[in-house]
Structure 1
C-alpha cells in the first residue's frame, strides 16, 4: 500500500490541487443543503446528521472519499458568518485572501518555536508585529518609532492573560482593577495566575465609571505599579468603549498600570473616520487586539501589543534543543520567549497578506462599512413602532427588543429563530432587561438584509 501524499515538498501542489476542488465542491454542496445562516432542527438534529455521516470515527480501513463527506457535513451544519442573517457574535466572515494564505501556512507547516523550523515566518512575524504595535502606539504620547512590540496569540483570552502575567512579572505583585463590563477572561486570568481577587468597579452606563475608579485606586493599598487597571475598547455585550483618556489620566495620577482590552474595538485604528474613538489607547502599557474580529481573519489571529519591548523578556525560557546558548550567540534568533506556547503555527502569514493586499485604506473601508450598517439598522429599529433600541451603536453592535415583550419572550424568539435555522442573533442583559444583539461584521450586508432580519423577529414575536 502506497503512502498518502504530503501537502508540501515537490509533490505537494500536485496532491493538493484535486483535493481543493473536492473541498470547494463540498463546501458549496453543504451550504446549499443548509439553505440559511444555520442548520435547521436544533442540536439534536445536527448531532444526528453528524453521527450518521461519521459513523465509526476510527475505522479499521479508511475511506478515500472522507474529505468530501465530512467537509460537506460540516458546511451543512455550520453557522455561516458570511450570511447577513448570522449576526450573533464577534464571529467574522474571513477574507478570501486571508483564507488562501492560511492554506499556504497549513501546507508549509512552520512552527514558531525555533528559527530552524520557521526561518522566513519568524522574520515576517517580527516585521508585522512591530508594524502593528507602532500603529497602536502612534499618538500624541507615543514612544519613539519601533520601541514597542507585539506578541501573536490565539485571541483575547490569551492576550489578556499574558497582559496580567507581564504586569505581575514587572512589579512583583499585581492586583487587577476592572469594570463590571470587563471581559470574563480577565477575572479568569487573575485566578489562573494566583493573583488576589480582582476589584470590580461599577459600570452603570455599560462603561467603566471614572469617579468610581478614582475612589477605588485611592483606597487600595500597595506600592506604585502594584495595581493594573483593565479598560475595555469594545465590550462584548454592546460594543461600548470606556473613557480611555480619563482612565489613562487616573492611572498616571495613581501610579497604576493600564491594560486596554481592545479585542473588538482595536480594528477602529484602521479607519480615519472612527479611530478617534480610541484616543488614549497609546498610553496603555499593554493592548489586546483580535484581527479575527474587525480584521476579517480566519481564527485565530490575536495580538498583545506591549509598549515596553523589554517586558516580554519575562517569558524567556531555555530548552537546549530549541534555543541553545551557543546557537543564540551565533546569531540564531530565540523564539521561545515570544509566547507561552511551544508549537505555534504562522498565523502571521494571513495577517501579513491581508495588510499588504488591502492596506490601511482597504481595511479602514471595511470597518467603515460595518459601522455604517450598524447605524442603518439602528435607524430602522427607531423607525419601527414594534421595536425598542437600547442605544445608538458605538461600533457595529446593535441591541434591540420587541416593545413590551417579556424577557422570556425575547429569549424564546431568539431560540426559535436558531432552531428553525432562520437567523442567528445574540443576547445581552443590560439595565435589567434581556436584549437581542446583532453584531454586524459582514461588509457585504445590504439594507434589505437588515430589514429582513427585523421582519423575521417581528414575525416570530407573539402579539
Structure 2
C-alpha cells in the first residue's frame, strides 16, 4: 500500500478542504450558501411538480434504475450534477408523505420548523453521549424531558431520554423491568452475573394486538419469544381484563414469574387503547412492572378532545412515545420516560474517557447514563423548535382535526353498500375498511382487496395500507396529515369501489 504523505505546502493543502466544510472562512461559507441555494430550489421545484403521492413504479423498475447509479466518485463531481441525478432516480421514486392522499402507514409529514432544526442538528453534529460534546444540548434535552413528564402527569422523581422511537423505547422498558425484577425478587444482578437460573420462567404479559417489538425485545433480552404471554382482546381490540386475570393466575399456579405487563396506547391497526387505569391497578396489586407503549397514542397529551383517554398512564413505570407520528417530526424522534430515575442504574456503565464516576459527583449531565445508545443526535431540538414556533394550540387543532376526519370517514363508509368498516368508531385516526361487494365470490374478496391496494399504489393516485383482521384482508387509512380532508378520502373510496367492481368483472370474464 502506498504511504500517504502530507504535501510540503501545508497551508495550501489545508485550504484545499475549505470548500467542503461549514466554518468561519469565506470559502466554506460561500460553498455552504451555494449548496443550500441549489438544494432549496430543487426541493421547491420538485414539490411544485408533484401531483401524486407516488410515481407508480414497481420494485423491479426502481431496482433497474438504482443499478445504473455509481456509488462513489474518485475525483468528486459538482453538487448540482449529483442533485439532478438524485431527482431523477431517488426523489421521483420516493413516497411523498406530505401529499394529502398518502394516508397508509403511521408516517407523518414533517413540519417546516423541524426541517430547519434538522439542518442545525446536522451542521453542529453534537453527540449527546457526554456533556463536553453537547454542552447546551444536554440541558435542552433535559428541559424537554421535564416538559414531557409534566404533560404525562408523572412524578418529580421521573426522568427519561430521547430515543430513536418505539422499538428502542419498548426494548429499554422491558430491559429495565427484567433487571429490576431479578434484583428485587432473586437478589440477582443481571449486569454483572448475566441471566438468572430462573430465566425460562420469566414472563411478559401483553395483548394479542400489542406491537411486535414486545416479542422482538423478549428474544433480544435472552428471554425468548415464548416468554411473551398474549392476552385476548375484546370487540374493541382492547386488552381483556378477564383474560389477563386468568392468564396471570395460571402462570403463578405453574410456578412461573410474570414480571411485566405491556399496555398499548394506540394499536397499529385500530388505534385502540387498552384500559390504562384498570391495568395500572392490576399491575400494582400483582407487583408487575407497568410499561405503556404510547408510541402512537402519546400525542394525546396535546389533544383537546381525546386527552382523557390517557387516564392511568401517569401510573406507568415506563412509557414509550414517538414524535415522528402525530407530533409531525422527521424520523427518527421518540422518547422513553421512567417513573423512578433511580432505575436507570440497571443500564448505567462508566467509561473513563466518556462519563467517569466523578462527573456524577460533580453534577455533570452525561446523558449516556440514561440510554442504551452512545453516539446520539440532538433530536430534542426538533421537538423544541416545533413546539415554540408552531405552538401547542395549533398542535391541538391539527391532531383533533385528524380525529374528526377519521370519524367522518367511518360515517361515509357506513353508508356505502359495497364497502364495510372495520372500526365504526375510530379510537384515534386509523380507519379500517374492506371492499365486500356481494356481487363477487366471497372466496375472492381477499385477493380483490390486495389488488385494489396495489392498483392505487402503482397508479400513484393514493397510498393506503393493507392489513389482516381475523385472517381477512382489510385496507387502512392512517389519517395523520391535517391537510387531508373529507373530499380526499371520499375520492379514494370512490376509486376503491370502482377498482373493486372492475376486479369482479374481470373475474367473470376470465371464468
Work out whether the TM-score is over 0.5. yes
Which residue, 438, 450, 461 being the options, matches 2:489? 450
User: Which residue does the alignment assign to 2:164?
Assistant: 154
Q: How does 1:20-419 map to 2 (within 5 A)?
A: 20-31=36-47, 35-52=51-68, 55-64=69-78, 65-72=80-87, 73-136=89-152, 138=153, 142-143=154-155, 146-172=156-182, 174-195=202-223, 197-205=227-235, 206-221=237-252, 227-391=259-423, 392-404=425-437, 406-419=445-458
User: Does the Cα contact within 8 Å between 1:39 and 1:46 map onto a contact in 2?
Assistant: no
Cα contact 1:177–1:201 (8 A) shared by 2: yes
Identify unmatched segments of 5+ residues in structure 1: none
User: In structure 1, what is the Cα distance between the partners aligned to 2:454 and 2:420?
Assistant: 19
Q: Kindly provide the CA deviation profile for residues 37-85 of structure 1, in whole angstroms up to 9, marking residues without a partner as x.
A: 0122211222233344xx2212322221354125423221111111111
Q: Map Cα deviations across residues 202-251 of structure 1 (whole Å, 9 max, x no partner).
A: 12432211100011122223999952001101101111111111222221
Larger radius of gyration between Structure 1 and Structure 2: 2
Taking the aligned partners of 2:398 and 2:21, their CA distance within structure 1 comes to 33
**What is the root-mean-square deviation in Å for CA atoms of aligned residues?**
2.1
Aligned residue for 2:332, secondary structure, equals coil
Name the SS for the 1:424 alignment partner.
coil
Report the CA distance between 1:331 and its aligned residue: 4.4
In structure 1, distance between residues paired with 2:181 and 2:81: 53
Shift of 1:302: 0.9
Q: Output the CA distance in 2 between the equivalents of 1:62 and 1:195.
A: 49
Name the CA distance, whole Å, in 2 between partners of 1:327 and 1:403: 64
Q: In 1, distance between residues paired with 2:362 and 2:125?
A: 25
Ranges in structure 2 where 5+ consecutive residues have no aligned partner: 1-12, 183-198, 505-511
C-alpha deviation, 1:360, in angstroms: 2.6
Q: Is 1:437 equivalent to 2:476 in the alignment? A: yes
Alpha-carbon distance in 2 for matches of 1:433, 1:4: 59
> Normalising by structure 1, what TM-score?
0.93
* More divergent stretch after superposition (417-426 vs 14-23): 14-23
Q: Structure 1 residues 44 and 25, CA, compared in 2 at 3 Å: closer, same or farther?
A: farther
Tell me the number of residue pairs that the alignment of Structure 1 and Structure 2 aligns: 455
Tell me, in whole angstroms, the C-alpha distance in 2 between the residues paired with 1:168 and 1:274.
32
SS at 1:437's partner residue?
strand
The whole-number CA distance in structure 2 between the counterparts of 1:50 and 1:375 is 41
Matched residue of 1:5: which SS? helix
Structure-2 change in CA distance of 1:225 and 1:102 (3 Å): farther
Counterpart-to-counterpart distance in 2, 1:4 and 1:443: 43
Cα distance in 1 between the residues matched to 2:29 and 2:428: 41
Worse-superposed segment, 15-24 or 150-159: 15-24
SS in 2 for 1:169: helix
Report SS of the residue matched to 2:173: helix
User: Alpha-carbon deviation of 1:335?
Assistant: 2.4
Q: Aligned partners of 1:4 and 1:155: how far apart in 2?
A: 36
Cα distance in 2 for partners of 1:126, 1:263 equals: 20
Q: 1:331 to 1:298 in 2, by over 3 A?
A: same
Cα pair 1:23 1:71 within 8 Å, conserved: no
Flag the 1:20–1:200 CA change in 2: closer, same or farther, 3 A. same
